[in-house]
């Protein structure tokens, strides 16, 4: 599963390069940082699900109003025998501005997740979507749903709510 990370990252870089080459760049890329409460759920097939709350940090580079590359790291939370040690991933982020302050977005990338008690970390293609509301040009509130792992015998999902500072 870890072999997904390299092709997804390479595809994102190729897409950015192609988009930059086709149109003159009138938008200055901008960096952003965010922090979220991470409400996660591990749902094994045929058994009861595990859920808890952790923390997630996000960092990204917006190339224009419609495309960004974003990274997530998260940890925390415990439900009985299951502890989330960490999650780490990289994503292409497609954004659609609805108004000047409100936009929706989709995420596609790859994530590695490690649970306490498991022998190995797991990696998979990840996808999700969310919305963002800008209170000021530099500060926004964000909410999203991401399916970090979609394995044949379990799923690992998270709903996140937090704030982002745009530099």
pLDDT beyond 80 at 44: no
Query: What is the Cα–Cα distance from 80 to 36, expressed in whole angstroms?
Result: 23
pLDDT attached to residue 104: 98
Instruction: Yes or no: say if 107 and 121 are a contact pair by the CB < 8 Å rule.
Output: no
Number of CB atoms found within 10 A of residue 90's CB:
18
Confidence of residue 118 (pLDDT cuts 50, 70, 90): low
pLDDT cut 90: percent of the chain above it = 60
The structural domains of the chain, ordered by start, are 2-21+29-166 (2.40.160.20)
| Backbone φ, ψ for residue 18 (5° rounding) | -65, -40
> How far apart, in whole angstroms, are the C-alpha atoms of residue 128 and residue 158?
9
Lowest mean pLDDT among 1-5, 88-92, 96-100, 148-152: 1-5
- The per-residue pLDDT of the chain, averaged, comes to 85
Cβ 41 vs Cβ 157: under 8 Å: yes
Kindly report, residue by residue over 129-167, the tens digit of the pLDDT. 999 999 999 999 999 999 999 887 788 999 999 999 999
Cβ partners under 8 Å of residue 149, min gap 6: 111, 113, 122, 124, 126, 155, 156
Q: Please, which pLDDT band fits residue 18 given cuts at 50, 70 and 90?
A: very low
Select the more confidently predicted residue: 47 or 22: 47
How much of the chain is in helix, strand and coil states, percent to nearest 5?
Answer: 15, 65, 25
């Amino acid at each position: 599963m870890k072999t997904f990370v390299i092709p997804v990252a390479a595809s994102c870089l190729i897409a950015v390069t192609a988009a930059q080459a086709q149109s003159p760049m009138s938008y200055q890329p901008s960096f952003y940082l965010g922090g979220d409460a991470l409400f996660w759920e591990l749902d094994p097939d045929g058994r009861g699900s595990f859920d808890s709350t952790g923390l997630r940090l996000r960092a990204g580079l917006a190339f224009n109003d419609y495309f960004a590359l974003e990274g997530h790291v998260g940890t925390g939370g415990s439900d009985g025998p299951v502890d989330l040690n960490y999650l780490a991933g990289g994503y292409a982020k497609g954004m659609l501005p609805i108004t000047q302050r409100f936009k929706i977005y989709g995420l596609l990338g790859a994530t590695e997740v490690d649970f306490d008690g498991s022998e190995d970390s797991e990696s998979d293609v990840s996808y999700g979507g969310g919305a963002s509301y800008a209170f000021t040009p530099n500060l926004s509130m964000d909410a999203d749903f991401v399916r970090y792992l979609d394995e044949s015998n379990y799923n690992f999902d998270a709903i996140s709510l937090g704030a982002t500072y745009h530099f």
